[in-house]
Structure 1
Amino acid sequence: MPAPSEALLLIDLQRDYFADPELDRCREDLVATCNDLVRAAREVGVPVVEVQTVHETDRSTWTLTMHEDGQGVVERGTEGVERVEGLDPGGAEVVEKTRDSAFFGTDLAERLRDAGVRRVVLCGVSTESCIAATARDAFALDLEATLVSDATASVDWSEHDHTLAMLETQHRQDVLTGAEVAERWRAEPGN
């Protein structure tokens, strides 16, 4: 089987982000779709990367809004930084980040380039922030991106829909369901 040209990125599927009632409401369905995608990726040899936001408790990595609010989230050593209940990334590589984009201040682009990846498949939260920032940076890095409509979520579904439509139009990024992505992987060995 040829080396896959795609990678699955699981973004910010961590406890603190599901403290919001709307994200908690859709958590089980979102996690189930992500787990289905992980299994499909493993079947065809697509690498899986779990991207986690991890902030230091000394505030050195906090964002401007965290400083303004005087409150940290996803801090190292807390329960909030842990993987959301039910997620099974199946031994995925882990990349830690401190900003919205999975590429900002990380070695993710180099890892993907070294693996021959030309397209990233994005799942996780939140659609209008970390998913969108990662998708925009993928575009800037000349990586194609697929946004998984039923494996991304937002506290505001109008923002979710608007963001997916904007990225599809502005950057010509695919918006597919998890089942459509898995079908594409199975139909196109080596992607």
Structure 2
Amino acid sequence: MAIALLIIDMQKAFFEDESLGKQQESLVGACNKLISEARQANVGVYVIRTEHQRDKSTWTVSMLDDDQGFLFNGTEQAEPVDGLNIDGLPQLVKTRDSAFFGTDLLQRLRVLDVDTVVLAGVSTHNCVAQTAADAYANNLRVSYATDATASTNDGYAQDVLKVLMDEYRQQALGNDDVLKLFAQQET
């Protein structure tokens, strides 16, 4: 078994939302614990972030409809959230919810023979869930690091996780169980 940890959208802009802002410290701590343990277990770690261009060329349909951009390249909003220990880790930039859309993530995982991804970050019902669905479409097993994920809408998050877990046989794990999974990493 080869595993990769994906840290998704742990960026300042997302924590401007009050519900995520209240969870920032615990989420950063949980992500940092996973990152540290992944490094020790030789588990690949990828930091995925969303960035858009001001010229609207990367905007989503809803952004275009509202004529309101978000997470512009080079702005403070697009920067990693304070305290996240990601120095030296590979980073990928996406413009859609899925970490697979328009990135070379799948190619990177295939080169390392990764068959399982552990997802952490925000938001569970959007970017984390879409990444999970696309991972499944690419025959990758998925585990959600529940201590290291959060959403702006807990009801949506629970509903989408239930569907993904039931339909795609994905699993939700607390950090202790994720660490046990890392220990199974083949070297």
Q: Distance in 2 between matches of 1:150 and 1:160?
A: 13
**Structure-1-length-normalised TM-score:** 0.94
1:54 matched to 2:51: yes
AA in 1 matched with 2:92: V
Question: Mean alpha-carbon deviation: is it higher for 128-137 or for 83-92?
Answer: 83-92
What is the CA-CA distance between 1:58 and the residue it aligns to? 1.2
Code of the aligned partner of 1:174? Q
- Residue number among 118, 122, 126 corresponding to 1:121 in the alignment: 118
User: 1:131 aligns to what?
Assistant: 128
- Please give the alpha-carbon distance, in whole angstroms, between the structure 2 residues aligned to 1:170 and 1:81: 33
In 2, distance between residues paired with 1:185 and 1:115? 15
Which residue of structure 1 aligns with residue 145 of structure 2?
148
In structure 1, C-alpha distance between the alignment counterparts of 2:166 and 2:15, rounded to whole Å: 29
| 2:91 aligned with 1:111 | no
Cα deviations across residues 100-127 of structure 1 (Å, max 9, x unaligned)?
0000111110010001111110001111
Where does structure 1 differ by over 6 angstroms across 4 or more consecutive aligned residues? none
Q: What is the identity, as a one-letter code, of the residue corresponding to 2:37? A: A
**Alpha-carbon distance between aligned partners in 2 of 1:62 and 1:77, rounded to the nearest angstrom:** 16
Q: Residues 8 and 122 of structure 2 are in contact (CA less than 8 Å); yes or no, is this contact kept in structure 1?
A: yes
Q: Which runs of 5+ in 1 are unaligned?
A: none
Aligned-residue sequence identity (percent) comes to 43
Alignment of 1:1-191 (within 5 A): 5-186=2-183, 188-190=184-186
Deviation at 1:183, TM superposition (A): 2.2
How big is the alpha-carbon RMSD for the aligned residues of Structure 1 and Structure 2? 1.2
Structure 1 counterpart SS, 2:161: helix
1:11–1:50 CA contact under 8 A, matched in 2: yes
1:189 Cα deviation after fit? 4.1
Q: Residue 95 of structure 1: SS of its match in structure 2? A: strand
2:2–2:185 CA contact under 8 A, matched in 1: no
Q: AA paired with 1:120?
A: V
Counterpart secondary structure, 1:137: helix
Q: Which moved more, 1:84-93 or 1:16-25?
A: 84-93
List runs of 5+ in structure 2 lacking aligned partners: none
State the distance in 2 between where 1:36 and 1:139 align. 26
Q: Distance in 1 between matches of 2:84 and 2:104?
A: 24
Structure 2 distance, partners of 1:184, 1:124, is 18
**C-alpha separation in 2, matches of 1:19 and 1:67:** 21
Return the alpha-carbon distance in structure 2 between the equivalents of residues 111 and 184 of structure 1.
20
Normalised by the length of structure 2, the TM-score is 0.96
Number of aligned pairs?
Answer: 187
